Structures are given as structure tokens and as C-alpha cells.
Chains A and B, each alone.
Chain A
Amino acid sequence: MGVDIRVENLNAWYGPVHTLHDVSLHIPANHATALIGPSGCGKSTFVRCLNRMHETSPGARADGTVLMGDIDIYKDATPVEIRRRVGMVFQRPNPFPTMSIYDNVASGLKLNGFRKKRVLDEVVERSLKQAALWDEVKDDLKKKSGASISGGQQQRLCIARALAVDPEVLLMDEPASALDPVSTAKIEDLIFKLKSQYTIVIVTHNMQQAARVAENTGFFLMGKLVEFAPTTKIFTNPSDKRTEDYITGRFG
């Protein structure tokens, strides 16, 4: 099951550039939360700070408190430990090209030293079913490479791979931006099903997508969290002028 995320005064820098300013919010457990805003507004940086992925970029640093359940991710744990609790799905599908479909899904466990084959088989099947990919690939699990399937299938494979480690939180950084409309609909469908079991944070530049899948939505602008509220409120009755301008298409 998912855990909630409390962020207090999170600031982030890429080298000298201050990309996040004092972001504070409470992301409830087992719901989908969407983050919207024009490109470069800091929403991607924000999710990368939630599993400390920003640390893989040279010169990036973050400052503040992020509580995931009862764990302060910057104080109580290493990046590796955090990332084992948090699944991440990236903008472009990035399956491991030299691994089979099976190995792709099992990679989070296998590469961490998990050896029980029977459990692995179960986990792979369960994750692929959760990602609605099982029926399409079950005959080629070990024969086909993760890179040999279509783009939409690859992205669902990446979701299955993230689910296989049984995460508490699922971060999705514009998961459908590189996909065609049919694949996008499938991914949205999936998020809809999964959000009762995982805390899902989804970054998107597509406002309809946020409206379709998320209970809560946060609007980022120039590194600041402008407004964070239930999705219906954001889209029907925003309290900030800038949010209203953005969702009515007056800029960005």
C-alpha cells in the first residue's frame, strides 16, 4: 500500500540556477496527484527530488524536508534505499535493450540480488497483468528484447518494471508525452486502476490528462507551487489568478 508524502520548504538548484522555491505540500496516500505547469516550471525537478534522482545530475542539490510515510528521505535513508520504495516512470520509454521482457520486469529484484525463481515468476506475471501488458507479451517473455515491442507497450513494460518492486509511491514524469493517443489512453486507464493501491504522482503538461486521472492537482510556475487543491476545484474555481490564466490557455 502507498504512503503519504509531506514536503516542507523544498528548494532545489541546478548549479547556480535556483529551480524550486520553498515548495510545501501534502500528497495523500493511495491517490493520484497531478502536477501541471508550463515547461521549465520545476515540476519535473520536483518529482526527481522525491526519489533523489536529481542527485544523478552533476551540480544538482536540494534542501528541505521530504517525509515519505515516516521516513525523512534526506536524513534517514540513502538514495538507493529510497528508490527501492519509490517506482519511477520516465518521459520516454526506457526498457533495458539487452534484456528480455521477463528480465526487464524482474530487473529491480534480480539486480538487487533476489534469487527465488518461483517468486520472480509470480511477480513478473502479476506486474505485467497490473500494467495490462500480460496478454500481449506472455508468449514471448524470454524470447523478445524489451526494446523490440512498440513504444506504448514499452512504456507499460516500464510501469510493470516499476510495480515489480512493490513500491509505496509511483512517480510518473510525463509518462505519455512520447506516445500516440491510443497508447496514452491505455496508460491513463492504468493509472486510474493503480491509484487505489499506490500513491501516484504524475507530472503532465496536458491539463485534460490531469483532469482525467488525478484527485488533486498542483500548479507550478517558475519554480514555485502556485496552487494545490482538489482537481475539480483547480479546473472549475481556481483561487489564484495565475492558475486561472494557465488553465484557460491565456499563456504557456
Chain B
Amino acid sequence: MDALPLRSRGVSNFVTVRRNLTNHVVTGVAIISTILVLVPLVAIFGYLLYKGASSLNLAFFTHVPVPVGEPGGGMANAIAGSGVILGLASLLGIPVGIGAGVYLAEYARGTWLGAAVRFTADVLNGVPSIVMGLAAYALIVARQQHFSGMAGSVALAIMMIPTVTRTTEEMLATVPKSVREAALGLGIPKWRTVLSVSLRTASPGIITGCMLAFARVAGETAPLLFTAFGNQFWSFDLNQPIAALPLQIYVYALSPYDEWHRLAWAGALVLIVLIMASVTLVRIFANRGVLKGGN
């Protein structure tokens, strides 16, 4: 390939000029590209804030959807429904993910089984969410013959597992070996060492990882389309269709009614704010009461 032109400046001015020109052009292209990227970014956030904030009102948080033509209405049931579905999904997905991460970090270092689990988790991480929805449909909905919030939770839980597994493993790997040895040297059984020393030391990072997994599935629509399905009324029965915020936004956005478009924008803003708020809250909560190590 092209080796560096090493001739001195005096000999070949032309080459130097060309090289410097190329350099400036590339620098310019990089700067312009970055600006080009920042434009849609700011556009999305700005538009979302503007449209969402101007569409929000108290009724959005207190009312359920009203039939077409009637003004007002809100997404109270969808917010609550999302909470229920996500709560169950976290309950199912996070423990399994942490368990698998513990296995990888504490029991399977350097084994082929560990490598296989790690690779499978990475690959599972890339499976499209709509496929998770299909699988949950075939596993649960088709068997029960009706849509259910639980099926939606299972789909989301499966999506959380690989993320939680990999962050747990990575965070446990940062716990120094000497700290584990201290516990084992005291005659503390391994299971207790893992729980009270390794996991506890790594807990801030693991909690962050869990929150990232949560944030990722909290906005998912595709896996809920034919599992949780949506609901126009209040419902907390996990065995029945349940409303969810992303589903409601999807339906309203594609409707032909201006009033529903307004609600969709409000819903989008609320969805993003709720995701960010829950992530921040958990992190603050988790950091409280944890003693800060020095050094």
C-alpha cells in the first residue's frame, strides 16, 4: 500500500501541499459530519420537548383514553400498565441475569462452558425484539388462547437477561481477588462470599447495568404488540390484556385524529422522562448507604 512519502519538503513541495490539503479536507469533513449528526439529534429532542410539553396536562396522568371525537382523556392506565409489566419483567429477568453473571465470573473463569454461555448471551442480545414477541406469543398466548400482560413481561424479561448477565460479569471481574481471598480465609463459605463480598462490592455497577437493561426494554413496543396487546381501560390483571405506554403511543401516532396525535406526543415525552427518572432514582437510592471507599 501507500508508504509514507519521506522525501524532504524542499525536494517535493507539491507532495507536501497535497498532503496538507488532504489533511484539512478530512478535518473539515469530520467537523461537518459531526454537525450533520447533531442536527437531527437536537431536532428530535427539541421537537419532542416542544410538542410534548405543549400537549401535556393533568388529565393525561389521571384519565383513561376516551372514545374518538370526545376531547380530553389521558394515558393513566397505560402508565400504570407499563409499570406492572416492567415490574414483573424485572422480577423475572434480573435475578436470572445476575445468576448467570455470577456463574461466569465466579465459577466458570476460563472454561469452555463459560465462553459458550458468554457468546450465547451476546448473540441473544442482538435478537430483534419483534422475534421475542413472537416467541412469547407462541409460548404463552397461543397456549392460553388470550393475550396477557404476563406474556409481555416474559418477552421483556428475556430481553433483559443478556445485558444484565454481561454487566454483572464485567463488574464482578473488577472486584480484586484479594478481597475474595480475605473472605475465604475467614472460613466464610463460597456462596456467602459471593453474595456478601463480591456482589456487594460490585453492586453499584451491577445496579447501573440493571437500570440500563430496564431502560432499554421500557420503551419497547414490538414485543408487546401481540402479548400485552393493550387495553383502553384500567386493568392490573396480568392474565388479561394490559395497556402499555409505548403501545398506546404507537396506536395513537398512526391514528388519523389530531387529538390522539397530541396525546401521542405527550406520551412520548412522559415515556422518556419516566425512563430517565427511574434510572436516576434507582442510582441515587443505590448510592445512598454505600460507604465510600477511600484511596
Contacts and interface: CB of A to CB of B under 8 A. Distances in A.
A39 interface: no
A161 B203 contact: no
B291 interface: yes
Nearest to B178: A94
Given A97-B201, A98-B290, A147-B293, A111 B188 contact: yes
A165 B179 CA distance: 17
A148 B293 contact: yes
Contacts of A87: 185-186
Contact of A88 (B185, B203, B294): B185
Interface stretch (B160-168, B192-200, B212-220, B229-237): B192-200
Nearest to B196: A111
B289 to A, nearest CB: 10
A83 B197 contact: no
A56 interface: yes
Most buried by B among A82, A94, A100: A94
B194 to A, nearest CB: 11
Contacts of B182: 90, 94-96, 158, 161
B197 A96 contact: yes
A86 B186 CA distance: 8
B49 interface: no
B145 interface: no
A81 interface: yes
A66 B188 CA distance: 21
Contacts of B176: 94
Interface string A79-112: 1111111111010101111111000000110011
A85 B176 CA distance: 24
A16 interface: no
A100 B293 CA distance: 9
A252 interface: no
Nearest to A143: B291
Q: Please classify how large the interface on chain B is, using the bins under 10, 10 to 19, 20 to 34, 35 or more.
A: 20 to 34
A162 B294 contact: no
B295 interface: yes
B200 A98 contact: yes
A106 to B, nearest CB: 11
B275 interface: no
A53 B184 contact: yes
Given A94-B179, A96-B197, A83 B184 contact: yes
A90 B187 contact: no
B183 interface: yes
B291 A145 contact: yes
A179 interface: no
A51 interface: yes
Contact of B292 (A92, A112, A148): A148
B197 to A, nearest CB: 6
A80 B290 contact: no
B186 A81 contact: no
Given A96-B197, A100-B291, 8 more contacts: A82-B187, A96-B201, A99-B200, A111-B183, A112-B186, A147-B295, A162-B185, A165-B186
Interface of A: 51, 53, 56, 58, 79-88, 90, 92, 94-100, 107-108, 111-112, 144-149, 158, 161-162, 165
Closest 7 CB pairs of A and B: A84-B187, A148-B294, A147-B293, A83-B187, A145-B291, A108-B186, A88-B185
